[in-house]
């Protein structure tokens, strides 16, 4: 077992990981950039190491700085959280080369699944349904056009190295494909340092359903059920729910079993998420695989009682899974709403500023994962997430009522600071959401209604 774990992240997820480590009796080391020097995890951790100035490339993405912090602090393992270095195979290799355990899958698996085009091919070979599209990265606009003609419009262009909803473009008109290809390729290179793109058929009125898996080094692989993540803006999630509402037991079983089959096919180890698109006719297709902890992991924890971060750490330490498929029986319904420092009226533009008031909700079966405090400076350099509000209830109606009550209790104020709280409450009362008939187009409908 590890005695010291370095947390290569910031914000609420760094604090979440630190708490899990402390419960396991492990010493924690936080890393921080200059603007994060007074952050919650720095105050909570046993040790904190400064790794650079505000830009991520100079701090949280600076592999030599993170590695040096681990070596100097005596950390045996590094937990990368999500984002930043969490899906970087080079970082995992560097950790291994220096005798430090990377809490996540191997560099080989991350390399294979991090390349979205290669992951599609591997999962198709494993028998998972994948959307029609290119089987390898596209050579240019001409090949994209030829593939799109075979696939049919609309299509979506995606960065092969992408993730987190970035590096994507939906194309509905063939005449727009060439320009969209060039623009998306340039964006992919700027964000990921890799300009390769692939193409898939785009499904209108789709739902986004994903499956949480846990796999150990001893050949055991299980799923913890599925989540619905269909409420999105710019392909990034705002509301998540477990279990996904409105699925038949047969469909639920098929999706979850497909995820486990895919994980086994590539020798996956750790916590991972298989993301699927669900058509209006209830056909499902694999979109991508995330080789890391997800922002929305709390909803799965709330309905299963499984501490996913704890399991990640134990798996990385070489312990076998203590859970078997029959041990995981989801109970009730959990919802998560992401409270971001964004202005929905300005296309969710970031709204940074210093918090003069920050009072999260509480009460029965309410969980708030946050790093924010009164006086905290919400800066422009990082993700705008302020807090994840999570509720649990025995059924969906009670969960919706509890979430509305919780969001209504939130008090956030600051010069220049706007949040998504009121917008989230408008989502929750939409009839299609109440009826579990919502799709990835719901946010656009709510915005259109505001105009």
292 is a catalytic site residue: yes
Distance CA 380, CA 394 (A): 39
Longest dimension (CA), the chain: 60
Which one is catalytic: 292, 338, 367, 402? 292
Distance CA 304, CA 212 (A): 11
Distance CA 325, CA 304 (A): 12
Distance CA 419, CA 240 (A): 18
Is residue 212 within 8 Å of 300, Cβ to Cβ?
Answer: yes
Burial 83-93 (b: 16+ CB within 10 A, else e): bbbbbbbebbb
Distance CA 301, CA 220 (A): 20
Burial 144-165 (b: 16+ CB within 10 A, else e): bbebbeebeeebbbbbbbbbee
Is residue 330 within 8 Å of 303, Cβ to Cβ?
Answer: yes
CA distance readout (Å), 55 to 8, 17, 52, 188? 15, 23, 8, 19
Counting every residue written for the chain, the total comes to: 451
Active site residues per annotation: 292
């Amino acid at each position: 077992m590890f005695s010291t774990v370095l947390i290569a992240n910031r914000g609420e997820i760094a604090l979440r990981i630190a708490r899990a480590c402390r419960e396991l009796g492990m010493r924690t080391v936080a890393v921080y950039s200059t603007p994060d020097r007074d952050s919650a995890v720095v105050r909570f951790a046993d040790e904190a190491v400064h790794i650079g100035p505000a830009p991520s490339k100079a701090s949280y993405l600076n592999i030599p700085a993170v590695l040096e912090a681990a070596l100097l602090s005596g950390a045996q393992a590094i937990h990368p959280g999500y984002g930043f270095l969490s899906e970087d195979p080079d970082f995992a290799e560097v950790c291994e080369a220096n005798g430090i355990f990377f809490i996540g899958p191997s560099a080989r698996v991350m390399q294979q699944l991090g390349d979205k085009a290669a992951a599609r091919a591997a999962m198709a070979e494993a028998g998972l349904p994948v959307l029609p599209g290119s089987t390898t990265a596209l050579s240019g606009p001409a090949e994209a056009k030829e593939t799109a003609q075979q696939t049919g419009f609309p299509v979506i262009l995606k960065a092969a190295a992408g993730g987190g909803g970035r590096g994507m473009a939906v194309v509905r008109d063939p005449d727009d494909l060439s320009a969209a290809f060039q623009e998306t390729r340039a964006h992919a290179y700027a964000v990921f340092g890799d300009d390769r793109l692939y193409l898939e058929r785009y499904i209108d009125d789709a739902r986004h359903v994903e499956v949480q898996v846990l796999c150990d080094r001893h050949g055991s692989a299980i799923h913890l059920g599925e989540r619905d993540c269909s409420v999105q803006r710019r392909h990034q999630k705002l509301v998540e729910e477990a279990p996904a509402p409105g699925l038949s037991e047969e469909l639920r079983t098929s999706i979850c079993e497909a995820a486990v089959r895919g994980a086994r096919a590539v020798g996956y180890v750790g916590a991972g998420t298989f993301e699927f698109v669900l058509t209006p006719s209830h056909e499902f297709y694999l979109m991508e695989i995330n080789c890391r902890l997800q922002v929305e992991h709390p909803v799965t924890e709330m309905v299963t009682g499984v501490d996913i971060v704890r399991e990640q750490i134990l798996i990385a330490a070489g312990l076998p899974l203590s859970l078997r498929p029959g041990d995981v029986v989801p109970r009730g319904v959990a919802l998560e709403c992401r409270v971001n420092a964004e202005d929905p009226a300005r296309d969710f533009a970031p709204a940074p500023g210093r918090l003069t008031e920050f009072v999260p909700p509480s009460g029965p079966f309410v969980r708030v994962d946050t790093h924010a405090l009164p006086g905290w400076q919400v800066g422009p350099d990082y993700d705008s997430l302020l807090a994840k509000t999570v509720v649990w209830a025995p059924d969906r109606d009670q969960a919706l009522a509890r979430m509305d009550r919780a969001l209504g209790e939130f008090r956030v104020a600051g010069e220049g600071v706007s949040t998504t709280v009121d917008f989230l409450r408008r989502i929750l009362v939409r009839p299609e959401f109440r009826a579990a008939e919502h799709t990835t187009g719901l946010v656009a409908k709510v915005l259109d209604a505001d105009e």
